[in-house]
């Protein structure tokens, strides 16, 4: 419908009207070739911009949108505040993001918030001494220079969940908690795949009332971050700019929007994300301290950015088939993988599942021979003394046996979020 005072251009199509093949703009016959009109209009617009806008100002506008980052890798210290629940300004999460924008790789390393540094917990450094002091502490621990920082409120996950969601989450155990003071309710059922956005996603990553406490919470956060990273790859820079404007209201940072856009443009297409665990141990007083024996290897791993040799993050589940049927098995398994590989399996099932198998086995679910060789290489490094029987489920070998194991896990209310790359049946005590 034409509104008052509006002149509408009409294109005659299929021979209708007097001006066949022409474009009638405001009642006048124009160029016969639409492409010619577009090209000339574009050139004219470009000339007007160059003539009317001073070059220094134009350069300034471009720099606001896109600003190349010289340092590579580019290291960002991410600090999470959970003021709503904790009622404190102490850093609830400390995460180092190492971005190789040349190769398109992202490595994240989480530092335990209870780590003892110079007689006090690291999560109190920001509150007592400020951001520069905390940056210095992290630089001393990692051997890397911090280029930027971002201090964020957990409500950031709510916005990200709304913008990038829904995020599919398989809940593996009952999760219920109600805080009457904060009017916060968390209620998720095991074995259910939830498509979470906003409030639900925020509640999921906040939950810490399970048996693993903060360790379980960190694992959930890592899983959510991976899935958000994959979702964010489909964003254009305009949507990214709008999202960053919303997030900045909930954060304190020295990151420019132009830097964010540049880094995003370099890792969004084929970027890979991986995690490297921080080397810590527990002393006789029950304090979390740096494991100095593994600190050197950890620093080397950060500099080498190990995702370069692996084209994906491997999802490995380990199932207890030893005589040790308690959480000590899980602790030993995770400790050995951290020591040898610098990262941990996706899930360790320590419970007695009563599977009818002897010794150690590996069920490889990926079809890729590269993935198969990589997984077998991991096992050779972590368990050089152990012999594993290999089952290629993706090639329909022993597929019935694999599904029998998964059915037994389901019957015992042990849920494995799929897809996974490998299921490892471990017949040893897990190492140490």
- pLDDT band at 16; cut points 50, 70, 90: very low
Kindly report, residue by residue over 99-145, the tens digit of the pLDDT: 998 888 888 898 988 899 998 999 889 888 999 999 999 999 999 99
| pLDDT value at 159 more than 50 | yes
- Please count the residues of the chain: 432
Would you tell me how many other CB atoms lie within 10 Å of the CB of residue 141?
Answer: 21
Collect all residues with Cβ–Cβ distance below 8 Å to 265 and sequence separation of at least 6: 66, 237
* Alpha helices, H only, 345-424: 369-382, 399-411
Alpha carbon distance 260, 407 (integer Å):
45
| pLDDT value at 280 more than 80 | yes
Integer-rounded Cα Rg, in Å, for the chain is 27
Mean pLDDT score, 12-29: 41
Answer whether 148's CB lies under 8 Å from 77's CB: yes
Alpha carbon distance 342, 359 (integer Å):
26
pLDDT score recorded for residue 383: 93
| pLDDT value at 52 more than 80 | no
Show the domains of the chain with their CATH numbers.
Answer: 10-52 (no CATH), 74-302 (3.40.630.190), 314-426 (3.30.70)
Percent of the chain with pLDDT over 90: 14
Kindly report, residue by residue over 71-102, the tens digit of the pLDDT: 889 999 998 876 544 445 667 789 999 999 88
In sequence order, what are the beta bridge partners of 153?
81
pLDDT score recorded for residue 86: 44
- pLDDT band at 149; cut points 50, 70, 90: very high
| pLDDT value at 426 more than 90 | yes
Percent of the chain with pLDDT over 70: 74
The better pLDDT of the pair 119, 4 is held by 119
Q: What order do you get walking across the sheet with 28-29 strand by strand?
A: 10-11, 23-25, 28-29
Helix (H) or strand (E) holding 422: strand 422-426
| pLDDT value at 304 more than 80 | no
Q: How far is CA 189 from CA 170, 193, 201, 227, in A?
A: 10, 9, 14, 21
pLDDT score recorded for residue 203: 82
The better pLDDT of the pair 370, 312 is held by 370
- pLDDT band at 356; cut points 50, 70, 90: confident
Q: How far is CA 425 from the centre of its chain?
A: 27
Dihedral of alpha carbons 136, 141, 146, 149, sign: negative
pLDDT score recorded for residue 214: 64
Alpha carbon distance 259, 268 (integer Å):
14
Alpha carbon distance 182, 284 (integer Å):
36
pLDDT score recorded for residue 141: 95
User: In a 3-state reduction of DSSP, which class is residue 119?
Assistant: coil
pLDDT score recorded for residue 33: 55
Collect all residues with Cβ–Cβ distance below 8 Å to 64 and sequence separation of at least 6: 257, 258
Assigned token pair, 304? 């080498």
- pLDDT band at 193; cut points 50, 70, 90: confident
């Amino acid at each position: 419908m034409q509104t008052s005072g509006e002149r509408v251009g009409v294109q005659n199509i299929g021979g209708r009207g007097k001006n066949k093949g022409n474009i009638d703009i405001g009642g006048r016959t124009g160029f016969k070739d639409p492409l010619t009109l577009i090209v000339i209009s574009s050139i004219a617009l470009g000339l007007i911009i160059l003539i009317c806008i001073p070059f220094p100002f134009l350069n300034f506008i471009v720099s606001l949108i896109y600003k190349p980052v010289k340092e590579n890798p580019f290291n960002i210290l991410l600090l999470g505040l959970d003021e709503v629940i904790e009622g404190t300004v102490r850093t609830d999460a400390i995460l180092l993001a190492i971005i190789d924008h040349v190769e398109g790789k992202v490595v994240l390393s989480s530092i335990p918030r209870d780590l003892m540094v110079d007689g006090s917990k690291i999560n109190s450094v920001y509150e007592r001494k400020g951001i520069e002091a905390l940056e210095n502490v992290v630089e001393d621990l990692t051997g890397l220079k911090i280029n930027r920082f971002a201090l964020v409120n957990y409500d950031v996950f709510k916005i990200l969940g709304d913008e990038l969601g829904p995020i599919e989450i398989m809940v593996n155990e009952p999760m219920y908690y109600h805080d009457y003071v904060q009017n916060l309710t968390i209620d998720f059922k095991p074995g259910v795949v939830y498509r979470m956005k906003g409030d639900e996603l925020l509640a999921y990553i906040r939950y810490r009332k399970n048996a693993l406490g903060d360790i379980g919470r960190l694992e959930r956060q890592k899983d959510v971050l991976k899935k958000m990273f994959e979702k964010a790859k489909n964003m254009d820079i305009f949507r990214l700019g709008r999202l960053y404007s919303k997030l900045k209201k909930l954060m304190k940072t020295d990151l420019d929007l132009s830097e964010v856009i540049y880094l995003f443009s370099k890792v969004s297409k084929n970027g890979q994300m991986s995690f490297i665990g921080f080397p810590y141990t527990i002393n006789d007083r029950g304090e979390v301290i740096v494991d100095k024996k593994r600190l050197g290897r950890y620093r080397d791993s950060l500099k080498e950015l190990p995702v370069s040799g692996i084209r994906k993050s491997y999802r490995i589940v380990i199932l207890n088939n030893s005589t040790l049927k308690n959480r000590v098995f899980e602790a030993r398994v995770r400790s050995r993988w951290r020591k040898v590989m610098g990262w941990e399996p996706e899930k360790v099932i320590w419970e007695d599942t009563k599977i009818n198998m002897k010794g150690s086995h590996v069920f490889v679910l990926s079809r890729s021979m590269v993935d198969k060789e990589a997984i077998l290489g991991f096992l050779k490094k972590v368990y050089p003394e152990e012999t594993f029987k290999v089952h290629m489920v993706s090639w329909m070998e022993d597929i019935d046996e694999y599904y029998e194991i998964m059915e037994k896990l389901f019957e015992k209310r042990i849920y494995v979020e799929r897809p996974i790359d490998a299921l490892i049946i471990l017949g040893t005590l897990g190492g140490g």
